[in-house]
Amino acid sequence: MAVYLDNNATTPLRPEVWEAMAHVEFGPHMLRNPSSLHVAGVAAQRAVAAARAQIAASVGAAPDEVVFTGGGSEAINLAIKGAVWGSRIAMPHAISTTIEHHAVLHALDWLRSTGVATTLVPADSRGVVDPAAIADAMGEWTVLVSVMHVNNETGAIQPVEEIGAICRERGVLFHVDAVQAVGKLPVDVRQIGCDLLSCSAHKLGGPKGVGALIVRAGTPLVPLVHGGSQERGLRAGTENAQGIVGFATAVALAESERERNWAHWLSLRPILYRLLDDIPDVRLNSDPDSTVPNCVNLSFAGCDGMNLAMNLSAKGVYVSTGSACTAGDVAPSHVLKAMDLTDDEAKSALRFSMGASTTAAEVERAAETTRAIVERLRAVNGV
C-alpha cells in the first residue's frame, strides 16, 4: 500500500462526505437547482442553507456572511480583487507577504499590471511575518492587507490576530487565507478581526471544486463573476449543492476531530524529526513551536528535491517538493527563498504533510525510505 504524505496539497475524500453528497445527488434533492422555486428546488435550498450555517458556525461567522465559490483560489481572488476594486479609491495600495500562496501573489501581480500599488512584506527565517512590518508598510492609500493563517509549504502559523488589530486601528480591510488552517486550528473571524476569510473543502476531506469566502457584513466587495443573484450577488452561478453539502460535512468532521488530530500529529512528527539526527546535513525549514504539526519541511544537502520525490514515489511514498514546476523549469520555492535559504537548500527540500488517517507505521516507512534514498543519491553524487 502507498503512503500518502501530501495532504497539504489535497486530502482524500472522506467516506462520510461521499455519503452526504450521494444523498443530495440521488436522494430527495437530486439534480435540483437550489435557485428554483418549485418544491424540489426549495429542498435543495434548505440543504445549502444548512451547510452554510454549519460552515459559518465553524469560523464564528453569520450564515449570510458565507459566499460559496468554486474553490480556494477563486475565494482568494474575490477577496483581493473585489476588495481593492470595492474601495473606489483612485490609487489604492494593497499589502501582503513574500510567503503567500500563488493565488494571492498572482492576483496581486495582475492588480499591479492595472496600476494598483502593492507591497510584499518579508518573513523571518522561521517563515513568520512581523506584524510591525505590516504596520510600517501601511500608507494613506492602503485599502487591503492579505496574510495567510498557516503556510502551505512549512506549516508556519502567522500572527493574524495581531495583524487584525493593526488593520482595525488603521481602518484597513484584512483578508486571511485560511485554506490550510480551517479544521487544524481554531478559526474565529471575530477573534482574528478579519473582514474576509477564504477556505477550501478539499484540504480537509471534502470535495474539490468548492470553497468559501467569509465576507463580514458591510465589507465593500465587487464580484468577479456576474450573472444571476446567487450568493447575495457576489458570485453568480448555480450553487454546487452536492459540493457545498460535502464541504459542510467535511468541516463538521474536521472540527469534531481537531484536538485529537493535533495530538496525533504531535506524536507522529518526531518520527520525521529523527531524520535530522540519522542523516547528516539535513535542515528543518520551520520552527516546531510555531507550526501546525502535520507539516514537516526538510532540506537534504547534496540531493535534488524533485529527484528525491520521484524516487520516493517509485517506492510508494508520496510527498511533495519545496519547488514549483512551471513550463518544465523547476525554480526554488519562493517561500523557502523568502526565509533566506540558498537556491541549493530550497531545491533540496521535501514537504511531508500528514492527514487525519496517517498512521505511525506509514510515517516510519516514509522516514526509512527517505533515509535509504538520500544515502543512495548522495553516494551516486559523490557527496
Task: Supply the residues annotated as catalytic.
Answer: 325
Cα 10 to Cα 203: distance, rounded to the nearest angstrom:
5
Cα 100 to Cα 104: distance, rounded to the nearest angstrom:
6
Q: What are the two backbone dihedrals, phi and then psi, of residue 189, each rounded to the nearest 5 degrees?
A: -65, -30
DSSP-derived 3-state class of residue 109? helix
**Could you tell me the sign of the dihedral formed by the alpha carbons of 217, 220, 221, 222, in that order?**
positive
DSSP per-residue letters across 328-347: TEEE--HHHHHTT--HHHHH
Contact of 97 with 151, CB cutoff 8 Å: no
Residues in CB range of 110: below 8 A, 6 or more apart: 81
**Could you tell me the sign of the dihedral formed by the alpha carbons of 2, 358, 60, 82, in that order?**
negative
Contact of 43 with 74, CB cutoff 8 Å: no
Contact of 351 with 297, CB cutoff 8 Å: yes
Cα 297 to Cα 308: distance, rounded to the nearest angstrom:
13
Contact of 16 with 7, CB cutoff 8 Å: no
Cα 154 to Cα 8: distance, rounded to the nearest angstrom:
10
